[in-house]
């Protein structure tokens, strides 16, 4: 079960690295505009906020990778709970699909870690 948990955690970390790239570097580019259905003006006005959000996603990815590399269940649990809470909050306040793209993988990873300890 630990191997399955680690695979899911690494996949979640890669998702968050993708979110980092999208929010920090592609926010005002055509791919970012299309992904978030924004006008260029809206993207330019919110670029600093998006970059900040991307940085936080990078910290989540780093923490998840740290947990896998260290093999420490408590580190994995902490960062998976952070992912889950952020996903629930984003899903309730920003866009419902965040529940499926962020919160659900976090919940699955959390369950797998709990089953492996």
- Give strand ranges (E) for the chain: none
Number of separate domains in the chain: 1
Which residue in the block uniquely carries the two structure tokens 């709970």? 81
- Residue 44 tokens, joined: 């330019």
Which residue in the block uniquely carries the two structure tokens 């962020």? 102
pLDDT tens per residue across all 117 residues of the chain: 899 999 999 999 999 999 999 999 999 999 999 999 999 999 999 999 999 999 999 999 999 999 999 999 999 999 999 999 999 999 999 999 999 999 999 999 999 999 998
- The boundaries of the domain holding residue 106 are 2-116
Contact between 116 and 1 (Cβ < 8 Å): yes
Collapse the DSSP code of 26 into the 3-class scheme (helix H, G, I; strand E, B; otherwise coil) and give the result. Answer: coil
DSSP state of 95: -
Contact between 5 and 116 (Cβ < 8 Å): yes
pTM over 0.85: yes
- Residue 25 tokens, joined: 């570097």
């Amino acid at each position: 079960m630990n191997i399955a948990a680690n695979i899911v955690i690494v996949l979640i970390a890669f998702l968050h690295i993708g979110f980092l790239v999208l929010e920090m570097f592609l926010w005002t580019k055509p791919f970012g505009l299309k992904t978030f259905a924004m006008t260029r003006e809206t993207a330019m006005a919110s670029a600093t906020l998006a970059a900040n959000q991307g940085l936080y996603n990078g910290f989540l990815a780093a923490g998840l990778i740290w947990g896998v590399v260290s093999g420490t269940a408590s580190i994995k649990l902490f960062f998976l709970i952070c992912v889950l809470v952020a996903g629930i909050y984003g899903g309730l306040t920003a866009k419902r699909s965040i529940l499926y793209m962020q919160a659900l993988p976090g919940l699955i990873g959390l369950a797998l870690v709990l089953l492996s300890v």
